[in-house]
Amino acid sequence: MLKFVVRRFVWTIPVILLVVFFTFAMMRQIKGNPFQVTERAVPESIQRNLDRKFHLDKPWYTQYYYYVKGVFTFDLGPSLVQRNQTVNDIIKEHFPVSLRLGMLAMAWALLLGVPLGLLSALKQNSITDYLTMAFVNSGSAIPNFLVSTLLIYFFAVKWRGTFHLPTNGWDNSIGGWKTWILPAIALGHAPMTIFARIVRGSVLETVQQDYIRTAKAKGLRWRRVVGLHVLRNSLIPAVTAAAPLLGFLITGSFIVEFIFGIPGIGRYFVISVTGRDYSVTMGITVMLSAIIIVANMVVDILYGFLDPRTRDART
Amino acid sequence: MATDVDRRRDFEATLTRAAEGRVEEAGAAIQRASLLRDAIHRFSRNRASVVAAFAFVMMVGFVYITPWADSASPYNVDFSKAYLPLSWAHPFGTDEFGRDLLVRTALGGRVSVQIGFAATIAIMVVGITYGAVSGFAGGWIDNAMMRFLDALYGLPYLPFAIITLAIFGTVNFWTMVVALTVASWFTTARVMRGQIITLKENDYVRAATALGARWYRILFRHLLPNTLGVIIVFVFLELPGVVLGEAFLSFLGLGINPPKASWGTLAQDGYNSYQEHPYIIVIPSLAIAWLILSAFFIADGLRDALDPRTRAKF
Amino acid sequence: MALLEVNDLRTYFKTRAGEVHAVDGVSFSVDRGLTLGIVGESGCGKSVTAFSIMGLVQPPGRVVGGSVLFDGRELVGRKDKEMENIRGREISMIFQDPMTSLNPTLTIGTQITETLRRHLRMSKDEARKRAIQLLEEVHIPNAAARLDDYPHRYSGGMRQRVMIAIALSCNPKLLIADEPTTALDVTVQAGILDLLRELREQHDMAMMLITHDMGVVAETADDVIVMYAGQVVEQAQTLDLFDNPEHPYTEALLAALPQIEGEGVREGRLTSIPGRPPDLISPPEGCRFAQRCPYAGSDDCHLIVPDLREIRSGHWVRSQHPASERAGRPVGVT
């Protein structure tokens, strides 16, 4: 098992290098010295200092080398717009917000999606099944921005009296939990529909397996047959879907953070692009890539843990 | 006791009888031998898919026919008519500039649908090429290409689309198509590769090679046509993704520039005034949802129709 | 009183094409401590009969009529929760394919102990000890160490032994074995059959052995019933059935067995029964074997369903042309 983890970890390095290369190559296409893009004129001497400090006077491969070195020492360079902040600072400030939002959204997706999928499958072709699947399917197609808008419109505005939820903003301290609810639901909605569909399909397939028939023939209580025998096997595909779902969460977060005015890195990414703060853009992209890669690795490990057959098959 | 001669005669008689009886059936059998017919037949038995297909065609028809049929020009600014509710004259109401939303939605749909299809085709071209080359070449080339692809999976989709747009500097139809394609072709490539690899093992490929067929003939004449089914399914699976992606980008203000609008742009307009006039954001969003849902169910139905083994409905 | 008495059991399946009469009026009984073999070709309804007894028939199938008396208690129509108490505890079942009958994500140990803890309320430790004992009973080497293995570490024959161990863990009164050796190699088959015999004697259990293999029946069963197209067509003690088969179908089955010794054996072809079993959605009006029966003439075989009658002591047959009546041999009086 350990060998497996180590090998996966080692493989992430070339992947990150590749991502950095891509991002860097793309960024380099933008002509000119990034510092010159800002409106405010920079005094000559300071400009030269900055150039020297960030190697902007050197050829591109040197810049690349220094940047890569920076990535692996967790130094992502300075912000081009916020002069007194580095990219690291910005990320440190905004990432925890997005992280919490993402985790809450995922929690919502699982807590609602898995039971819905299970219920639907166990009552296949009944009214419950159709209604649930109608809800899930329609939910998956409605774009994130409408979901968010509707949530705000109903729960924070129209029914303000009953719910007392704020329309936007985000308070990352524990006391500010009310600001977390609507955004988490909005962001978790699409992943929820995905989980529901996957779990439903998976349970339907598992329930037909011979070993479920054996479990029933042993006289085990229905609760146990479903809760242990069926679920253990059905959740495996759901887990493998979790990693690509991370991509969804990231994409969705851009919209949700925008609408709810949440100071997360999704929103900051958009700001950095429109504000031409390209080092921030690069830094965030590299970080997001790293997260996705790590998440994939975690899912692989989790899969090995859940399905004993793969443990022995790994060479 | 039957002798060998008797047995032989019996056997021949049986054959003749069968052959005669089969003459009528033979014609019918050949008709049904067409795989396409079979697939269409199976598809049409799936009610959800047929409904979805209609819905899809309806939407595409709507976006192309309506502006042509409706005389109301979408660019007339008339503030006296701003924010009209739904009525016969304006079935979708008007926006803040008094422009008829029905026509705007249709025109916006044209943009969204066109970008969607173009990007999907681009994804198919890139993905199919990469996957086919990798699968067909095999060996270390395949290995290397797949490792590379694995690495690419780490690229987050939307950020990269945004970066690509930023690099291009402007956002027009083609830059948007490229941006949406850049980080979306990986799954298609992988699936194509899998298909090619499986099909490569078939005996008819070996037979063709033994007969002296060159690689390009095998690839284009034998392998790729057999992947057609999978490709079509994937078109309908990828389309929703790119339409949604474009909508997201436009919503964030990173999309097509005015006056050309897409559904995402319309939604952004609507977002600014959703509390008083919710329909301006609801309508284009529902249009997107309509397209996505119908594409999804079509893909589902196609998948069942083209591969009967996936029928798990019991 | 017999341990299990099945009376006019009917189980139908609703399909798009119509209602399939999979089990159509089956009656038999199983006595304590004896083995009943149920033999017939694929699709004759033998497995469905077993599932009907256990209450494991899934929609679109359901038991539409008849009665199953187990130890004097009626099983048909019993609520699921009550059947759960009977299954695994008083009646156990093992299935055909050992490769897929065990849950791949749970250890063998868990799958044994959960039954023990469910029915006998054992503690974790007690259950574990008993599980090891059970594995040893079915001759799994190194039982204690292998308890925590997953099923994929076991071979097919070993998995079937585990299934048997699980089935016997709570000392049921009746064991139903649905084609337990069909998916196994011939040499492994013999081992499993021996094991079943051994354990059956030890636990003094009744057994219902379902198979399409006449050889297995000959070796293991005390009594036999022959099923065809959802009905019982012959029932007798094993020796009597093999020595004096009555029903034309039974005769054909026995004739179809490949023989190694005997006159003229190597020269001819293997005989098979021409034709196919009838469509069970609209079963034929009369005798279901009539279409393929060499003795059905222009008489009413096609119109009347013959009753199951006792042609000799302990030997029942459902046919208008049983062997003894054909050859003019005097029929034994009951």
Residue of B nearest to A20 (CA): B155
Asked if residues B104 and B95 have their Cβ atoms less than 8 Å apart, the reply is: yes
Interface contact flag, C95 A210, Cβ < 8 Å: yes
pLDDT band at C206 (very low <50, low <70, confident <90, very high): very high
Where b means 16+ CB within 10 Å and e means fewer, B118-153 reads: bbbebbbebbbebbbbbbbbeeeebeebbeebbbbb
Alpha carbons B165 and B177: distance in angstroms, whole number: 10
* Residue A233 in contact with partner chain C when CB distance is under 8 A: yes
Average pLDDT over residues B152-159: 77
Chain C residues interacting with chain A (CB cutoff of 8 angstroms): 54, 56, 80, 83-89, 92-93, 95, 97, 100-106, 114-115, 118-119, 150, 152-153, 163, 166
> Is the pLDDT confidence value at B11 over 70?
no
Order the strands of the C4-15 sheet from edge to edge: C18-30, C4-15, C61-70, C73-74
Helices (H), chain B: 4-32, 35-45, 47-69, 101-137, 139-152, 157-168, 173-182, 186-200, 203-210, 215-217, 224-226, 228-251, 263-271, 279-306
Question: C22: exposed, middle or buried (C-beta count within 10 Å: 0-12, 13-18, 19+)?
Answer: buried
Q: How close does chain A come to B168, measured CA to CA in Å?
A: 8
Q: Choose the closest CB to A211 out of C84, C86, C101.
A: C101
Q: What is the phi/psi pair of residue C29, to 5°? A: -140, 155
Cβ–Cβ of B154/A16 closer than 8 Å?
yes
Query: Using the beta-carbon criterion (under 8 Å), do A255 and B271 form an inter-chain contact?
Result: no
Nearest residue of chain C to residue A124 (CA atoms): C59
Three-state DSSP class for C174? strand
Is the pLDDT score of C18 beyond 70? yes
Question: Which pLDDT score, from 0 to 100, does residue A32 have?
Answer: 41
Report yes or no: A149 at the B interface, CB cutoff 8 Å.
Answer: yes
Residue A177 CB partners (closer than 8 Å, separation 6+): none
SS3 at position A68: helix
The answer on pLDDT for C68 being more than 90 is yes
AA identity, residue B147: R
Answer whether residue B123 shows pLDDT above 90: yes
Q: Which chain A residue has the Cα nearest residue B313?
A: A204
Per-residue three-class SS string for C280-312: CCCCCCCCCCHHHCCCCCCCHHHCCCCCCEEEE
Longest dimension (CA), chain A: 84
User: Do C12 and C20 contact (CB within 8 A), yes or no?
Assistant: yes
Q: How confident is the model at residue C311 (pLDDT cuts 50, 70, 90)?
A: confident
Q: For chain A, how many residues are written?
A: 315
- pLDDT at residue A315, rounded to an integer: 35
Mark out the alpha helices in B70-185 (DSSP H runs): 101-137, 139-152, 157-168, 173-182
**CA-CA distance, A298 to A290, in Å (whole number)?**
12
CA B51 to chain A, closest CA, distance in angstroms equals 15
| Residue B23, pLDDT score | 45
Q: What band does B278 get if pLDDT is binned at 50, 70 and 90?
A: confident
Sequence-distant (6+) residues with CB within 8 A of C309 are C316, C317, C318
> Which among A213, A232, A308 has the least Cβ separation from residue C95?
A213
Interface probe for A, chosen from C47, C52, C103, C114 (most Cβ of A below 10 Å), is: C103
Quick check: B170 contacting A, CB < 8 Å? no
Distance of alpha carbon C265 from alpha carbon C262, whole angstroms = 6
> Within a 10 A sphere around the Cβ of B216, how many other Cβ atoms?
9
Distance from CA of A278 to the nearest CA of B (A): 9
C118 vs A219: CB contact, 8 Å cut-off?
yes
Percentage of residues of chain B with pLDDT beyond 90: 10
Collect all residues with Cβ–Cβ distance below 8 Å to A21 and sequence separation of at least 6: A64
Is the Cβ of A298 closer than 8 Å to some Cβ of chain B? Answer: no
Q: Identify the H or E element spanning A265.
A: helix A265-274
- The continuous run of DSSP H or E covering C175 comes out as strand C174-178
What is the pLDDT averaged over residues B10-28?
53
Token match 């004697």: residue? C201
Cα-to-chain-centroid distance, residue B135: 22
Residue B9 has pLDDT above 70, yes or no: no
Nearest CA in chain C to A211: C101
Neighbours of C76 (CB within 10 A): 19
Lowest mean pLDDT among A28-42, B152-166, B180-194, B219-233: A28-42
B312 touches chain A (CB under 8 A): yes
What pLDDT score does B45 carry?
A: 75
Q: Bridge-partner residues for C316, per DSSP?
A: C235, C310
> Which residue of chain B has the CA closest to A136?
B293
Cβ contact, residue pair B271, A29, below 8 Å = no
What are the structure tokens assigned to B76, written together? Answer: 């007339």
> In this complex, which chains have at least 3 CB pairs below 8 Å with chain C?
A
The string of pLDDT tens digits covering residues C132-178 is 999 998 888 988 888 998 898 888 889 999 999 999 999 999 999 99
Contact with chain C for residue A44, Cβ under 8 A: no
HSE (CB half, 13 Å, CA atoms) of C308? 19
Alpha-carbon span C82 to C52, nearest angstrom: 15
pLDDT of C328 higher than 50? yes
Q: Dihedral (C-alpha) A289, A290, A291, A293: value to the nearest 10 degrees?
A: 90
- The three state secondary structure string of C200-233 is HHHHCCEEEEEECCHHHHHHHCCEEEEEECCEEE
Q: Say yes or no to pLDDT of B305 above 60.
A: yes
H/E segment holding residue A274: helix A265-274
- pLDDT, greater one: B99 or A223: A223
Q: What is the pLDDT of residues A74-113, one digit of tens each?
A: 766 666 666 667 778 888 888 888 888 888 999 999 999 9
- Torsional sign, CA C16, C17, C19, C25: negative
DSSP C85-137: HHBTTTEEEE-S-TTTSS-TTS-HHHHHHHHHHHHH---HHHHHHHHHHHHHH
pLDDT < 70: residue spans in chain A: 1, 4-5, 7-9, 11-12, 15, 19, 22-23, 25-58, 60, 71, 75-84, 306, 309-315
Using CA atoms, how far residue C53 sits from B85, C48, C69, in Å, is 66, 9, 9
pLDDT at B14 over 80: no
- Indicate whether B32 pLDDT > 60: no
Q: How many residues does chain C have?
A: 334
Closest CB to C88 among A210, A218, A236: A218
pLDDT of the residue at A54: 58
Residue C302 has pLDDT above 90, yes or no: no
Closest CA of chain B from A140, distance in Å: 8
Write down the residue that tokens 């890195």 correspond to.
A265
**B158/A251 Cα distance (integer angstroms):** 6
Query: What pLDDT, on the 0 to 100 scale, is given for residue C143?
Result: 87
Nearest to A251 among B157, B166, B292 (CB): B157
User: Distance, in angstroms, between A106 CA and closest chain C CA?
Assistant: 25
Token pair recorded at residue C173: 């009164």
Q: Pick the range with the lowest mean pLDDT from A134-143, B25-34, B98-107, C62-71.
A: B25-34
* Three-state DSSP class for residue C26: strand
Among A210, A229, A312, whose Cβ lies nearest the Cβ of C97? A210
The CA distance from A106 to A113, in Å, is 10
Inter-chain residue contact A219 with C85, CB threshold 8 Å: yes
Q: Check if the beta carbon of residue B193 is closer than 8 Å to that of residue B131.
A: yes
| Rounded Cα distance, B224 and A53, in Å | 54
> Closest-CA residue in chain A for B155?
A289
Rounded to a whole number of angstroms, the distance between the first and last alpha carbons of chain B is: 51
| Average pLDDT for chain B | 78
Q: What is the band of C210 on the pLDDT scale with cuts at 50, 70, 90?
A: very high
Q: How many CB atoms lie within 10 A of CB B298?
A: 28
Evaluate if residue B27 carries a pLDDT over 50: no
- Is the torsion defined by CA of A146, A147, A153, A158 positive or negative? positive
User: Which residue reads 């005798």 in tokens?
Assistant: C287
**pLDDT on residue B116:** 92
Q: Select from A217, A236, A309 the Cβ nearest to the Cβ of C88.
A: A217
Q: How many CB pairs under 8 A join A and C?
A: 79
Enclosing H/E stretch for A111: helix A87-122
Q: Are B191 and B234 in contact (CB under 8 A)?
A: yes
Is there a contact between A301 and A5 (Cβ–Cβ < 8 Å)?
Answer: yes
pLDDT over 70 (residue C247): yes
Residues of C in contact with A304 (CB under 8 A): none
Q: Do residues C201 and C281 make contact, with C-beta atoms less than 8 angstroms apart? A: no
Per the confidence metrics, is the pTM higher than 0.80? Answer: no
C-alpha span between A151 and A132 (Å, rounded): 19
Is B248's CB within 8 Å of A22's CB? no
Residue found by looking up tokens 């199953």 in the block: C68
Q: How far apart are CA A61 and CA C290, in angstroms?
A: 89
Q: Choose the most confident range, by mean pLDDT, from A55-59, B102-106, B239-243, C13-17.
A: B239-243
CB count within 10 Å of CB B97 equals 16
**pLDDT at position B31 over 50:** no
| Cα of A21 to nearest chain B Cα, Å | 11
Nearest by CB to A146, from B152, B153, B281: name it. Answer: B281
Taking the C-alpha atoms of residue A143 and residue A102, their distance in angstroms, rounded to an integer, is 18
A218–C contact, CB cutoff 8 A: yes
The DSSP H or E segment spanning C248 is: helix C248-256
